[in-house]
Amino acid sequence: MKEQSQIPVSKVQRATKFISTGARIGGNYLKYYSKKLVNPNMTNEELHEDNASDIYHSLSELKGSALKVAQMLSMDKNLLPTAYQQQFTMAQYSAPPLSFPLVVRTFERYFKKRPNELFDSFSPTAQNAASMGQVHKATKDGKSLAVKIQYPGVGESVKSDLAMVKPIALRMFKLNPAEYDEFISEVESRLLEEADYDLELQRSIELSGECRQIPNLIFPSYYPEYSAAKILTMDWIEGQPLGEFIKTQTWSPEEARILGQAMWDFYHFQIHQLKSLHADPHPGNFIITRDRKLGVIDFGCVKVIPESFYKTYFQLLEKDILHQPEKLEKVFYDLRFIYSDDSEKDKKFFREVFTQLVELLGRPFRTPEFDFSEKTYFEELYRFGEQLSSMKEFRHSKRARGVKDALYINRTYYGLYNLLNELKAKVNTTSWVPF
């Protein structure tokens, strides 16, 4: 893949890139409607493909927050047309890497040394490149290391990037502006934290240390002496990225059970014991080792769960909550699914929709063991998601339905369920769950 020798870092440079992307999208619409005049039966698939390609390539060059949002949107299979999903999924694994001279410049800034002066060996070619940074392989004192280098300007451009991506997101994905603003305010907080490698180093050491007691999980050791504000060094974990492993389809039902249980236990131990969790469950953040253990390699995105929110939200997953309508109703109000001054019609609509959602998403918790390979369950889940995305009551609501603290918890569960489904794992759902 072609490397980038420079990244637009100033607000003017990045704004210009966004403007040119918007112009190309406008051109795609003009081309589409011109063709549709000739062929009225023409679908919008070509339009989606052209727009998705233009947006992805522009965001890939910009890196940072805008590309991260694209990555997040790609994980929501009900929100985006297929063309966008396919393009934006690439942000998880294969964004164009930074050229080696820019990597060297980062090391010289923070260590006054070139990477090959700090390590015994350092690969000039990135092993993978994503939205916020890229990873190089190095060695030191006989240890294989993964060295993550943040792209220039990522942390400094979070706020301005998210402001500029808003009109594109609203137009292209027909999102509710109130929902989007709530979404972006929470995303901004997480991205500012994710750009802080000193914070990531601290959290990585703390969270991995707490979670080492969980069977069949492995974590890298971290090296503060080889880390800095834009550089993070940890052990290299040998194995296959989870996404590649899933494509092989070479594991047994017992291996699926072990890996799936490790993933389930990892998340629920964090949620219920630590009130702080790894909130980016996409396949690129997990490694499957040769002895079929689950390696966790990235604590950049961490959601700290406020105690008051925890006590309210997780009532929704209690086994008997659907048989306690008064309690359920109170939770709906507390979580802002329903507002006291909603019309009676809206109250009835949102009550019914969210009750159905609680039933569907909470179903794994209502049985001691759940088979995430169950095809009918995920068909039902995706079908309901498609229905939600088309409901005008959500799109036209003047208010966000839900509190922002729920955003990363919801996305974590969505990602977890999908990974367990792809592993075809059957897990004990009572493990580390206190209710």
Q: Please report, in tens digits, the pLDDT of each residue of the chain (435 residues total).
A: 456 555 555 555 555 554 455 545 445 544 544 555 556 555 555 555 655 555 555 555 555 566 666 555 554 544 444 444 544 454 444 556 778 998 999 999 999 999 999 999 999 999 988 778 899 999 999 999 999 999 888 877 777 777 777 776 666 556 667 777 777 788 889 889 999 999 999 999 999 999 999 999 999 999 999 999 999 999 999 999 999 999 998 999 999 999 999 999 999 999 999 999 999 898 889 999 999 999 999 999 999 999 999 999 999 999 999 999 999 999 999 999 999 999 999 999 999 999 999 999 999 999 999 999 999 999 998 888 778 877 888 877 878 889 999 989 998 998 999 999 999 999 999 999 998
pTM: 0.81
Cβ–Cβ < 8 Å for 145, 223: yes
Amino acid identity of 176?
N
Query: In this structure, what token pair is assigned to residue 235?
Result: 């052990």
Separation of alpha carbons 414 and 364, rounded Å: 13
Give 203-268 as a DSSP string: HHHHHHHHHTTSTTEE---B-GGG-BTTEEEEEPPPSEEHHHHHHH----HHHHHHHHHHHHHHHH
Cβ–Cβ < 8 Å for 273, 429: no
Q: Given phi > 0 = left and psi -120 to 50 = alpha, else beta, which region is 64?
A: left
Separation of alpha carbons 138 and 116, rounded Å: 9
Greatest Cα pair distance, the chain, in angstroms, is 69
Separation of alpha carbons 302 and 259, rounded Å: 22
Q: What is the pLDDT of residue 41?
A: 57
Q: What is the pLDDT of residue 306?
A: 97
Amino acid identity of 77?
K
